Amino acid sequence: MRQLVDMGAEAIQVIGPGWNSLHGSDGWNLHRGKRSIELDLRSPDGLAAFKRLVATADVLVENYRPAVKHRLGIGPDVLLARHPRLVYASISGFGQDGPYADRPGVDQIAQGLGGLMSVTGPPDSGPWRVGIAITDTVAGTFLAQAVAAALYARERTGVGQWVHTSLLETMVNIMDFQAARWLNEGEEPGQTGNDHPTLSPMGTFRTADGWVNVAPFGRFDGFCAAIGAPWLADDQRFLRAPDRIRHRAELSAAIEEALAVATTAEWVARLNAADVPAGPVLNVEQCFADEQVQHLAMTAAVPHPSQPSQITVLRHPVTFTGTPGGAPSRPARPGEHTVEVLAELDALTPPG
């Protein structure tokens, strides 16, 4: 829902009594820009208020385990029959049906089940999780795209639909070329650490003061000249792309020996001047201090939900030149807008 809010949607978060929200910056980042109301969907009054709220909505987004919404009587079969123009959007751990449908699911479980942990990290080092909750974010991104597509389809057909995805489905999908090679060539991808699995040299290399990422897509001899080691291009071990893969360890050692004479910043400048993609390896603090990141204005200051100070949130990473989305705004306190929203509902759809 956050991504829809970032693109200009008006969103109301519905929470249950005693709901344990994410605290601090995690919650602020996730729930910014939403109004928040508290309803007990297990009570007749709470459920009735929720159904009245749905009657005013274009989109409903939920992430219950699949059986829960049906048990509450708010499944897509019920609500779409009552509101045919509704776009009903669901995220689950493993899908809406099947043998795992009612299991509890979180990002790390999906990373392991979807194959990602088997291809992450140094060779033969055991499974490694990716350092961010990647399936949470990607599932939200795919669902936001589906909601936009469903709303566009509704403009042509006049009816909404149920769109749904899961952490597992999106995890398998973003395995992408690793999955494609197994599906078509039967090649089981392994761990290659910071090296590209099918290209060499492409990876992370030591410099005089740190690390540099390089991706020499163009002529290998041009890259060798740029790092001051033109003889590598004539070495029989590295003449062809398959040779460079086969002798990756020797090539990487030779490249690091050449890169040891200058700093990361010097190599980034020199390699980019030679049209070789290259960049430093930064920590989070250094990332936000980087001149290009600062130029892109990736953050916004918004009011704190309960104090006079401000907090900083991330902006949506897409720029719309003709139809800009909503400006980032502060997160709500859980249940902050309950009275306000219910009063609006009474004005629009009187109870009963």
Half-sphere exposure (Cβ direction) of 281: Cα atoms closer than 13 Å:
12
Domains, the chain, with CATH or none: 2-176+292-348 (3.40.50.10540), 203-281 (3.30.1540.10)
Residue 307 per-residue DSSP state = S
Q: Which of 284, 264, 273, 278 is nearest to 206 (CA)?
A: 264
Number of neighbouring beta carbons within 10 Å of residue 237 = 13
pLDDT for res 351? 63
Q: Which one is catalytic: 23, 31, 196, 295?
A: 196
CA 260 – CA 229 distance, rounded (Å):
12
Has 23 been annotated as catalytic? no
Contact 88, 80 (CB under 8 A): yes
CA 157 – CA 168 distance, rounded (Å):
30
Beta strands in the chain (DSSP E): 12-15, 35-38, 59-62, 87-92, 161-166, 203-206, 211-214, 278-280, 299-303, 310-314
- Residues facing 163 on adjacent strands: 89
Give the pairing type, strands 211-214 and 203-206: antiparallel
Amino acid at 129: R
pLDDT for res 323? 86
Q: Which of 89, 62, 74, 113 is nearest to 161 (CA)?
A: 89
Helices (runs of H) and strands (runs of E) counted in the chain = 16, 10
Show the CA angle centred on residue 299, arms to residues 295 and 304, nearest 5°. Answer: 150
pLDDT tens, the chain, 352 aa long = 888 998 889 999 999 998 776 678 888 888 888 999 999 999 999 999 999 999 999 999 999 999 999 999 999 999 999 999 999 999 999 999 999 999 999 999 999 999 999 999 999 999 999 999 999 999 999 999 999 999 999 999 999 999 999 999 999 999 999 999 999 999 999 999 999 999 999 999 999 999 999 999 888 999 999 999 999 999 999 999 999 999 999 999 999 999 999 999 999 999 999 999 999 999 999 999 999 999 999 998 988 888 888 999 898 899 999 988 767 788 888 899 999 999 999 887 666 5
Half-sphere exposure (Cβ direction) of 3: Cα atoms closer than 13 Å:
16
- DSSP run (H or E) holding 146: helix 134-157
pLDDT for res 88? 98
pTM over 0.75: yes
pLDDT for res 352? 56
pLDDT for res 350? 64
